Amino acid sequence: MKANYPPLYYSDYLKLDKLLSCQNPKSEEYEGKLAHDEVLFIIVHQAYELWFKQILHELDSVRDIFASDYINENNMGVALGRLSRITEIQKVLIDQLNILETMTPMDFLEFRDFLVPASGFQSYQFRLVENKLGLRPDQRKLFDKSAYYSRLTPAHQALVIASEEEPSLYDLVEKWLERTPFLKLKGFDFWENYKAAVQTAFQHDREIIEQNPTLAEGQKEMELAELSKSTEGFLAVFDEEKHNTLREEGHRRLSYAATQAALLINLFRDEPILHIPFKLLTTLVEIDELFTAWRHRHAQMVQRMIGTKIGTGGSSGHHYLRVTAESHKVFTDLTNLSTYLLPRSQLPPLPEEFRKNLGFYYTYRNDEDKS
C-alpha cells in the first residue's frame, strides 16, 4: 500500500451531502406542508435498500465461491461467514419494522395518497435478492396477470430478468452437494444400512401405537394410517425414481444426489470435516426462515396500517403478502430434511476407515502416535 494518500474527510468519504439530501417528502412538495412522519417513512425505506445492497454484495461473492468446481476449505469458511452476515442483517430488517410502526395509521394517511402507484413491490433490489437466492419464476404468486417485474422501469426489468438467468445460490449449492465425495463409501453400503435402521424405527413406532391401551380401535387405525403415510414419504429418499416423480410433481426440488449428500451431512454433522458443510446448510435454512419471518411481520404491519384496503401498488394488500410469505421460500427441501433424521443411537455405525477420513488428520496422527 502506498504511504501517502490525501487526508480523507469523514463526510466526503461517506458522501453525506448527497446521502442526506435524498429525503424529499412529497407532502411538502405537493401541499407545501410537511407530513411529519413522511421523513421516517422515507428513511426507513432507504435504510432497507442500503441493507439490500449489502445483502446482494455478500450473495454475489458467495455465488462466486460456489461457482468454482473445487472449493477449498478456507473459502468455505469465508462463504459461511458472509452468509451468517446476511442472517444478522435480516434480523435488523425485521426489527426495523418496529421503528416504522411508531407511525400510526392516521399519520400514514397524511401522505399515503401521494405515493400511488409506488410500493415496495417495485423494489428491484428485493427482486434481485429473491432471484439470486433461487426463487423460481414459476413459483411466484402473482396478484394480477402481469409479470412481477412489469411495474419496474425497463432498466430495472433488464436487471431482474438477467438475474433469473444466472445460476442462483440454490443452483450452485445443489451442484456442490452433488459433487460431495462422502456418498461413495468403499465397501460399505450406507444407504442400505440406513434404510434398515429407518424401517426398525418405524416398526418400533407401529408397535407403540398397536400396544397403546388408551387408544380406541378407530383411533389406532387412524394413527397407523398416518404412520404408513409418513413411512412412505420417508422411504422415498431411498428410491430415486419415486424422488424424481415427486420432483416432477413439484413436491420436491432438490435432486436425488444432492438430497442424499445433504442428509448425510446432517446425520454425521458431529464428524469434524462435516462441521462447516452442516453449518452452511443450517445457515441457508435460517436465511429462508428469516425472510419468511420478515414477510409475515411486514404483512402484519400492513394490516395494522391499512386494514383490508388494497396496496398503493394495487395488490389485495395484506392478503397477497400472506400468500407470498407462505410460498416464496427457496430452501424448503433443506428445512424438511429433519423428516429423515434418526437419533444418533439408531444410526448405522460408520466403518472406522471412513470415519478417519471425516476427522481432522492431525487428531488421528496423534491417536496413532499414542497407540
Q: Please report, as ranges, the residues that interact with ligand HEM according to CB under 6 A.
A: 44-45, 48, 100, 108, 119-121, 123, 126, 298, 302, 305-306, 311-315, 317, 320-321, 324
Give 81 or 105: the residue with its C-beta nearer to ligand HEM: 105
Smallest gap from residue 47 Cβ to ligand HEM (A): 9
Smallest gap from residue 31 Cβ to ligand HEM (A): 19
Smallest gap from residue 101 Cβ to ligand HEM (A): 8
Q: Which long-range contacts (CB under 8 A, 24 or more apart) does 30-39 make?
A: 30/114, 35/107, 35/110, 35/111, 36/107, 36/110, 37/103, 37/107, 37/108, 37/110, 37/111, 38/110, 38/111
Q: Half-sphere exposure (CA, 13 Å, Cβ side) for 351? A: 11
Instruction: Output the CA angle 189-206-251, nearest 5 degrees.
Output: 65
Smallest gap from residue 313 Cβ to ligand HEM (A): 3
**Residues ≥6 apart with Cβ < 8 Å to 130:** 328
Q: Which residue has the cell 400396544?
A: 211
Give 309 or 344: the residue with its C-beta nearer to ligand HEM: 309
d(CA 357, CA 17): 57
Give 120 or 351: the residue with its C-beta nearer to ligand HEM: 120
With contact defined as beta carbons under 8 Å apart, do 337 and 266 qualify? yes
138 phi and psi, to 5 degrees?
-75, -5
Smallest gap from residue 202 Cβ to ligand HEM (A): 39
Smallest gap from residue 96 Cβ to ligand HEM (A): 7
Give 84 or 119: the residue with its C-beta nearer to ligand HEM: 119
Give 163 or 315: the residue with its C-beta nearer to ligand HEM: 315
- Helix ranges (H only) for 268-317 are 275-306
Give 63 or 295: the residue with its C-beta nearer to ligand HEM: 295
